[in-house]
């Protein structure tokens, strides 16, 4: 599989407030990094995950959040945790409930991507009591 890394930002600075939301699909991983609004798309494969680890070592995210998808996220979560990253897997129903409460209910993957669905995961995490 050809690795297709797409980036939409040139900001590469380390920031102690970097947060990453990941939309996990069978064939690809779609990321949104805050506060730089950098977006990346990589294959959901061992090589794609290696690319993410390399990128995350550069930006040192404070938190990485993704929805549970059954089995599709397992290699990603294991690799990120094994590399020392703070990764959280959230309940998809709770993320949908939050999106609904914010008036952003997406019904298809294409719509979710357009609405930057990972934002909802980041908001969900940051609103939880410490």
Q: Are strands 19-24 and 28-34 parallel, antiparallel or unpaired?
A: antiparallel
Instruction: Name the least confident of 81-90, 94-103, 119-128.
Output: 119-128
Q: Where are the domains of the chain?
A: 6-126
Its pTM stands at: 0.70
Domain 6-126 has CATH 3.40.50.1860: no
DSSP β-bridge partners for residue 89: 66
pLDDT value at position 29? 95
The residue-averaged pLDDT of 8-32 equals 76
pLDDT digit string, tens, across residues 47-79: 999 999 999 999 999 999 998 888 999 999 999
| Tokens describing residue 83 | 């590399």
User: Do 89 and 67 meet the contact criterion of CB atoms below 8 Å apart?
Assistant: yes
């Amino acid at each position: 599989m050809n690795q297709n890394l797409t980036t939409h930002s040139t900001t590469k600075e380390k920031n102690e407030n970097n947060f990453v939301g990941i939309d996990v699909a069978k064939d690809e991983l779609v990321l949104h990094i805050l506060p730089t609004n950098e977006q990346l798309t990589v294959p959901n494969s061992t090589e794609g995950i290696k690319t993410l680890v390399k990128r995350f070592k550069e930006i040192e995210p404070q938190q990485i959040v993704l929805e549970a998808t059954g089995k599709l996220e397992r290699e990603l979560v294991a690799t990120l945790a094994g590399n020392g990253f703070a990764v959280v897997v959230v309940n998809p129903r709770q993320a949908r409930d939050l999106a609904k409460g914010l008036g952003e209910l997406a019904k298809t993957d294409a719509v979710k991507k357009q609405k930057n669905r990972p934002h909802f995961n980041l908001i969900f995490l940051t609103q939880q009591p410490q």
